[in-house]
């Protein structure tokens, strides 16, 4: 009876560690408005729901082995962190596209404080990032992430000694962020490029005009107009990538099998 109780306690601890790692790294849950105390209790409650679904018996020789528990807890933390990071690919792509848009429009000269990373970041990057977070909440992205983590418990049970033997998903993870960001930034890039070409013609035909002073408000105006025009299409692309990112996060769990 005591051994069964200790087994359940250790499994619950490992599952809660996986949930806590996801809460720490997932795009939605890492906002500063979500306090750490709430993350802790939410992870504990969710792990209480998921723990009965785990049919794992830890060998008796490992029940009192703190080194084994420490290694397994580190593994669970890495699994939960990978799910949280990979599932946030669309939001990170939106943030990267906002950085590129701000650079093209000349907004990167004016930065703002990012409370998430405690660093200075681009204004457009923050705007598009919070738009992405809002749509993630609107389309129940947080529920999809929790379901993905609960499914990962069946794919890679906690407390089972498994060594990584799959492919590392991080290269594809970074590549996917870049590809989605380029899709979202291409309209602004094309519009600003055409504006630069037009300013070049103006500089040749009317050399008395100060093209540099004219170009700053022109690029900002063109960029905002194009952003407003393509925002529905950008949201559609973002929506298509939410479930794909969650599926990609679940596939990344196989690295630990």
**3-state SS, residue 47:** helix
pLDDT score for 167:
57
pLDDT score for 79:
84
Over residues 139-153, mean pLDDT: 81
Is it the case that residue 230 has pLDDT exceeding 80? yes
**Could you give the CA distance from residue 20 to residue 92 in angstroms, rounded to a whole number?**
20
The pLDDT > 70 percentage for the chain reads: 82
Is it the case that residue 163 has pLDDT exceeding 70? no
Place 153 in a pLDDT band, splitting at 50, 70 and 90.
confident
Is it the case that residue 52 has pLDDT exceeding 60? yes
Q: 245 and 142 in contact (C-beta within 8 Å)?
A: no
Mean pLDDT of the residues in the chain: 77
Residues pairing with 119 in the sheet: 114
How confident is the model over 30-43, as pLDDT tens digits? 776 677 788 888 88
> What tokens were used for 149?
């983590």
* Residue bearing the bigger pLDDT, 3 or 192: 192
Q: What is the pTM of this model?
A: 0.75
pLDDT score for 149:
83
How confident is the model over 201-223, as pLDDT tens digits? 877 887 777 777 777 788 888 88
pLDDT score for 253:
75
Enumerate long-range contacts of 39-47, CB under 8 Å, 24 or more apart. Answer: 43/16, 43/19, 44/16, 44/19, 46/16, 46/19, 46/146, 46/150, 47/12, 47/15, 47/16, 47/18, 47/19
How confident is the model over 54-93, as pLDDT tens digits? 776 666 656 666 777 787 888 888 888 888 888 888 888 8
Is it the case that residue 188 has pLDDT exceeding 70? yes
Is it the case that residue 44 has pLDDT exceeding 70? yes
Mean pLDDT lowest among 4-8, 221-225, 239-243? 4-8
pLDDT score for 18:
86
Enumerate long-range contacts of 170-179, CB under 8 Å, 24 or more apart. Answer: 172/248, 173/85, 173/86, 173/89, 173/248, 173/252, 176/89, 176/93, 176/245, 176/248, 177/89, 177/92, 177/93, 177/96, 178/93, 178/96
pLDDT score for 58:
67
């Amino acid at each position: 009876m005591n051994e069964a109780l200790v087994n359940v306690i250790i499994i619950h601890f490992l599952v809660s560690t996986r949930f806590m790692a996801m809460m720490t790294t997932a795009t939605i849950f890492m906002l500063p408005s979500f306090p750490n105390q709430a993350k802790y209790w939410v992870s504990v409650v969710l792990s209480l729901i998921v723990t009965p679904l785990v049919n794992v018996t830890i060998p008796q020789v490992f029940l009192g082995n703190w080194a084994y528990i420490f290694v397994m807890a580190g593994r669970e933390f890495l699994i939960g962190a990978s799910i949280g990071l990979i599932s946030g690919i669309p939001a990170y792509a939106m943030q990267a596209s906002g950085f590129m848009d701000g650079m093209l429009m000349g907004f990167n000269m004016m930065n703002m404080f990012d409370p998430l990373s405690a660093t200075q970041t681009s204004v457009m990057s923050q705007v598009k990032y919070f738009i992405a977070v809002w749509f993630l909440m609107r389309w129940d992205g947080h529920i999809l992430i929790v379901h993905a983590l609960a499914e990962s418990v069946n794919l890679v049970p906690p407390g089972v000694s498994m060594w990584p033997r799959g492919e590392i998903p991080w290269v594809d993870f970074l590549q996917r962020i870049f590809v989605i960001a380029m899709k979202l930034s291409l309209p602004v890039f094309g519009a600003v490029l055409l504006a630069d070409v037009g300013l070049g013609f103006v500089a040749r035909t009317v050399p008395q005009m100060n093209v540099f002073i004219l170009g700053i408000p022109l690029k900002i105006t063109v960029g905002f107009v194009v952003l407003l025009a393509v925002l529905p299409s950008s949201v559609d692309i973002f929506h298509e990538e939410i479930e794909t990112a969650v599926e990609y996060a679940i596939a990344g769990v196989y690295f630990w099998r």
